[in-house]
Amino acid sequence: MTEIFIKHYGVEPTSICQLSGSGSNRIYYRLTHPDGYSVIGVRGTLQRENHAFITMARHFKSLNLNTPELIAVSHDEMTYLQQDLGNIALFDVLKPHIGNWHKEKSAASINIIKTTLNLLAHFQITAHKGMDYSVCFPVRELDKRSIMWDLNYFKYCYLKLAGIEFDESALEDNFENLCHELLTRMTVRGFMYRDFQSRNVMLTDGKPMFIDFQGGRYGPLIYDVVSFLWQARLQLPDDLRTLLFEEYLEDLRREQSNINKQALIDDLPYWVFFRNLQVLGAYGFRGYYEKKQHFLESIKPALDNIKKQTIITQYPAIAHCLINQQ
């Protein structure tokens, strides 16, 4: 990390501080220049994933999108320096309002969410222009195989690790049926961020900036707004979710006039159901296996999100695994 800093700036950093990790295996550092400003150093473990991020970061900056500037990259692409966006994640700003979203003092934070979703709609449509999806990792688009990967992630990393018994054959039938339904409900496709949630949005001088987009691919745009509005820890009330989702659809229509709003509304419960199954797999792995408390605490609200979806009755084997879980 120091080597790439010296190579780019011609001086050694005055300090290097490792930052707390998230849900990935990447390691982040803050390196301070003698002149007082800092940059973020990243060391990844997978070259293809790093290459995806690096390529996307350059593409997004060429389109003047709200992502960090890529400053320097090692020859093997295993480490890189990027713009330091500060320490304020959107989640940190929203967290005090959890459970009190209808209070008057929450209005400013709700407006920040609206601004973020407006930027998301612009980002999704604009990033698609000239995007080289061949660099995406691990797949170039959300397809049948990657949907089944996520469903099996739920099975092996949540159900298995939580010790929940299930009928393997019936569960696989439900997975195949849900996968088929999702493949028919990709109404509007473009650049799908993949993990768009409030911990991946930094507030820099009050402006939302998007990070950790290396899992992005070609796919249904609705997936990203679902990932945000149904983020388990935010616990947004249903009426506020509906309002924000409808405003996002209007933002999307301003970006691309031929958007079929009603089709996206009809698609919504299936993508909410699927996304929350996927995050339960992630929470199970990071929580039950890696023993990270934050993820364990996220399981119950994710379960609550799933149980509210009326379409759960269409998938009885999945419902049987979840309906009595606390």
* CATH label of the domain that carries residue 159: 3.90.1200.10
Q: Say if residue 197 is in the same domain as residue 73.
A: no
Tokens, residue 296: 């364990």
* pLDDT higher than 70, residue 133: yes
Distance CA 90, CA 257 (A): 29
Indicate the pLDDT class of residue 102, thresholds 50, 70 and 90.
confident
**Length of the chain, please?**
326
Give, for 153, the enclosing helix (H) or strand (E). helix 144-153
Distances (CA, A) of 53 to 5, 58, 117, 121: 19, 9, 22, 20
Distances (CA, A) of 215 to 25, 103, 212: 13, 35, 8
Q: Say if residue 168 is in the same domain as residue 286.
A: yes
The predicted-structure confidence for 201-252, as pLDDT tens digits, reads as follows 999 999 999 999 999 999 999 999 999 999 999 999 999 999 999 999 999 9
Distance CA 227, CA 230 (A): 6
Residue that finishes a domain, picked among 28, 62, 83: 83
Indicate the pLDDT class of residue 13, thresholds 50, 70 and 90.
very high
CA Rg value for the chain? 20
- Average pLDDT taken over every residue of the chain: 96
Q: Which domain holds residue 42?
A: 2-83
Question: Which is nearest to 82 in space by CA: 40, 45, 129?
Answer: 40
pTM score of the predicted model: 0.95
Q: Say if residue 108 is in the same domain as residue 34.
A: no
First to last CA, the chain: 44
Q: Say if residue 105 is in the same domain as residue 247.
A: yes
Q: Say if residue 61 is in the same domain as residue 110.
A: no
Question: Which amino acid, residue 252?
Answer: L
Q: Say if residue 54 is in the same domain as residue 165.
A: no
CATH code, domain carrying 78: 3.30.200.20
Distance CA 51, CA 77 (A): 6
Q: Say if residue 56 is in the same domain as residue 156.
A: no
Indicate the pLDDT class of residue 62, thresholds 50, 70 and 90.
very high
Q: Say if residue 146 is in the same domain as residue 293.
A: yes
Residue that finishes a domain, picked among 40, 56, 83: 83
DSSP 61-98: HHTT-SSPPEEEE-TTSSEEEEE---S-BHHHHHGGGT
Q: Say if residue 123 is in the same domain as residue 193.
A: yes
Distance CA 282, CA 294 (A): 12
* pLDDT higher than 80, residue 56: yes
Indicate the pLDDT class of residue 103, thresholds 50, 70 and 90.
confident
* pLDDT higher than 80, residue 268: yes
Residue that finishes a domain, picked among 83, 104, 129: 83
Contact 234, 305 (CB under 8 A): no
Indicate the pLDDT class of residue 6, thresholds 50, 70 and 90.
very high
Q: Say if residue 147 is in the same domain as residue 214.
A: yes
Average pLDDT (143-160) is 98
Q: Say if residue 137 is in the same domain as residue 268.
A: yes
